Structure 1
Amino acid sequence: MSDRLKALADAGVSIWLDDLSRERIETGNLADLVKERSVVGVTTNPTIFAAAIANGARYDDQVKALVADGAEVDKVIFELTTEDVRNACDILAPVAAATKDDGRVSIEVEPTLANDTEGTIASARALWAAVDRPNALIKIPATLEGLPAITAAIAAGISVNVTLIFSTERYRAVMDAYLTGLEQAKEAGLDLSTIRSVASFFVSRVDTEIDARLEKIGTSEAAALAGQAAVANARLAYGAFQEVFSGPRWQALAAAGANAQRPLWASTGVKNPAYPDTLYVTDLVVADTVNTMPEKTLNAFADHGEVTGDEVTGKAAEAQALFDQLAAVGVDLADVFTVLEVEGVDKFKVSWAELVETVQGQMDQVER
């Protein structure tokens, strides 16, 4: 087992892999990562599935059977992806049994529904029923339309990974949606202890967007602020998490058996090669969080990552000071977060289109 990854886990960071394929499942690779690399969860998205399906023959038999049954492309995607997530959930089931919050595998609602509340709710219900594993998480985007869908899913007893969070303001709305869902679930007599949630706070894209704006501003003061906003933003988010999940509203739900909605650091692969490749892991070490990593980042941390203690708690004031400096040099932070959300939804849709094209190509080969 990697000592560095174990040290990260021992610091209270749950290591989740941001990747999944049938090859990982069937060759035992995923099970090996759990055993040897401290991996205790998995996240997926349409791009991950597109790559898996395009690069492996392990889906061929299922595609052939579905095509023979007359399935359309959306049905084929649904069946292929829920099959992988179900099997990954089974591999992670011992972790889920041994830990309070880990052993989870996430699958995303169709991205074209990001601004459709009722469609998202229906998609979440369908995915939850199809995977049919208690350690699954259904990914719902934190758009304005997604917020009531989060509440509805939680109220129905569906565990949720809230994705595409960029600002602390939206994160607070996400936490409110979660607590409201728990309150409704409690009112309906559901067992709150069975409901889990994480809030996926996107990291690297914040630096990408703000660094570009700082470069355009072009002053020495602006240049001095580069590469710091993403970590500061996450530290502010963690401060909000601590505040909400220590208040009286939460305490009443915790007394009824509810689980806290942990922050999850997503998009932790470094985009700028000038920055350390473990930046968004090392600088965000803090207990009660998840860091979901692409395998490249996981391997980098296993090789040379450092755990120097809690890098987040008590740093909200310092982070806010940086944000004040960013505003002072001319960065419109509200616009940054709006742009990132719009771009994020668009990227999700492009990702979905890529998956549809990939699967349709596989179906066309069968039909020929």
Structure 2
Amino acid sequence: MSERLKALADAGVSIWLDDLSRDRLTSNNLADLVANSSVTGVTTNPTIFAGALSKGDAYNAQTAELAARDSTVEDTIKALTTDDVRNACDVLAATSAATNGVDGRVSIEVEPGLARNTEATIAQAQDLWKIVDRPNALIKIPATLEGLPAIAAVTGEGISVNVTLIFSLERYAGVIDAYLTGLEQAAANGHDLSKIHSVASFFVSRVDTEVDKRLAAIGTDEALALKSKAAIANARLAYELFEQTFAGERWAALEAQGANKQRPLWASTGVKDPALPDTLYVSELVVADTVNTMPEKTMQAFADHGEVTGDEVSGKGDEARAVLAAIEALGISFDDVVQVLEDEGVDKFDKSWAELVATVEGALDEAKAKLAGN
């Protein structure tokens, strides 16, 4: 057991692995991380699945079976990815039971091309929930403006949601409102609120990447002194908003009916700038009632030399506001930063999805050629 990761978990941070593949499942690597590295959940996205399916031959047998049944590319992707998520849910079922569903969660994302289409997002979220068919799954829905009503509608049907691609406090407030609206709808629809769970994935490192690029372009000592501070400040203000909202009257009424808080999840916590400490976005965001989803490289780094020195978030709102105000004072529009990041985020997942489609298309063609040769 990694003592450093255990200390992180003991501080109230749920450690989720930001990766999944068939190899992790068949080799029992995921089960080992759950047993020995305090891992209590898994997140996936189109980029992760594109990488998994393009390497090795772990998916070949199933792809051949699907090719023999003349499965479409879309249906093949759905079968391969939902099987991985379902099996990961089973690996984490005991964790889910032990935490009353708070942890033991595995996320699967709606197709990124639907990010600006509310009704199509709702339909695919429902479809994925039925196919995975595990109570400890989470359906990932991007926090675009069109995604907000989808989050409310899907939650209202008793489906647990991981809201992804959150960059701004304004959008985060909208995400929380969508979740609470969904819970109110779920209660009206007769659902047991205690069975509905949600996380709000607030992206971290990408904020610094974009802001630091703009600070470097300004180039003054004042600007350079602010590098690598925006992301943590933004996340700390998100946690402040979480605490405030989930202490109000609206929440109290839902909590009385058994509802669960929508915990903040720190996403994109791998360091992009090699000059920064590789555990920065973990150690600086330690606080209870949060999730940190990490690439395995970041998790291993923390297991080796990460430090937990107590709550690094609560009570730091004024300091965080001062950082963002100083950045704005240099002429950097934070509103523009977060809009660029949202657009880039959707675009990157679109490109990953296209890679995934091309990989599966090639695998199906190869399998069909072998069948024809037989």
AA in 1 matched with 2:196:
I
Distance apart, 1:58 and its partner CA: 2.0
Q: Distance in 2 between matches of 1:351 and 1:242?
A: 35
Q: Distance in 2 between matches of 1:70 and 1:364?
A: 10
- Identify the residue that residue 166 of structure 1 maps to in structure 2: 167
Within-5 A mapping of 1:133-148? 133-148=134-149
Q: Distance in 1 between matches of 2:11 and 2:335?
A: 33
Within-5 A mapping of 1:347-362? 347-362=348-363
Maintained 8 Å contact 1:147/1:174: yes
Could you tell me which runs of 5 or more consecutive residues in structure 1 were left unpaired when the two chains were aligned: none
Q: Distance in 1 between matches of 2:78 and 2:296?
A: 25
- Identify the residue that residue 16 of structure 1 maps to in structure 2: 16
Could you tell me which runs of 5 or more consecutive residues in structure 2 were left unpaired when the two chains were aligned: 370-374
- Identify the residue that residue 293 of structure 2 maps to in structure 1: 292
**Secondary structure at 2:24's aligned position in 1?**
helix
Q: Distance in 2 between matches of 1:61 and 1:325?
A: 56
Matched, 1:64 2:64: yes
Q: Distance in 1 between matches of 2:305 and 2:217?
A: 33
CA RMSD across the alignment: 0.6
Distance apart, 1:359 and its partner CA: 1.0
1:123-158: CA deviation from partner (whole Å, max 9, x where unpaired) = 100000000000000000000000000001000011
AA in 1 matched with 2:84:
D
Q: Distance in 1 between matches of 2:186 and 2:44?
A: 27
**What's the % identity of the aligned pairs?**
68
Maintained 8 Å contact 1:202/1:266: yes
Q: Distance in 2 between matches of 1:294 and 1:22?
A: 16
1:93-148: CA deviation from partner (whole Å, max 9, x where unpaired) = 00000013000000000000000000000110000000000000000000000000
**Secondary structure at 1:105's aligned position in 2?**
strand
Q: Distance in 2 between matches of 1:111 and 1:26?
A: 28
Q: Distance in 2 between matches of 1:189 and 1:43?
A: 29
**Secondary structure at 2:138's aligned position in 1?**
strand
Within-5 A mapping of 1:133-212? 133-212=134-213
**Secondary structure at 1:16's aligned position in 2?**
strand
Distance apart, 1:56 and its partner CA: 2.8
Q: Distance in 2 between matches of 1:220 and 1:331?
A: 15
Matched, 1:51 2:61: no
- Identify the residue that residue 88 of structure 1 maps to in structure 2: 88
- Identify the residue that residue 5 of structure 1 maps to in structure 2: 5
Q: Distance in 2 between matches of 1:315 and 1:59?
A: 47
1:225-254: CA deviation from partner (whole Å, max 9, x where unpaired) = 001000000000000000000101001000
Maintained 8 Å contact 1:217/1:330: no
Within-5 A mapping of 1:321-332? 321-332=322-333
Give the TM-score, by structure 1 length: 0.99
**Secondary structure at 1:63's aligned position in 2?**
helix
- Identify the residue that residue 123 of structure 2 maps to in structure 1: 122
Q: Distance in 2 between matches of 1:301 and 1:9?
A: 12
Maintained 8 Å contact 1:50/1:359: no
Q: Distance in 2 between matches of 1:242 and 1:354?
A: 39
Distance apart, 1:301 and its partner CA: 0.3
- Identify the residue that residue 237 of structure 1 maps to in structure 2: 238
1:268-299: CA deviation from partner (whole Å, max 9, x where unpaired) = 00000000000000000000000000000000
AA in 1 matched with 2:21:
S
Q: Distance in 2 between matches of 1:347 and 1:15?
A: 25
**Secondary structure at 1:107's aligned position in 2?**
strand
- Identify the residue that residue 312 of structure 1 maps to in structure 2: 313
**Secondary structure at 1:330's aligned position in 2?**
coil
Within-5 A mapping of 1:230-269? 230-269=231-270
Q: Distance in 2 between matches of 1:55 and 1:322?
A: 42
Runs of 4+ in 1 over 6 A off after TM superposition: none
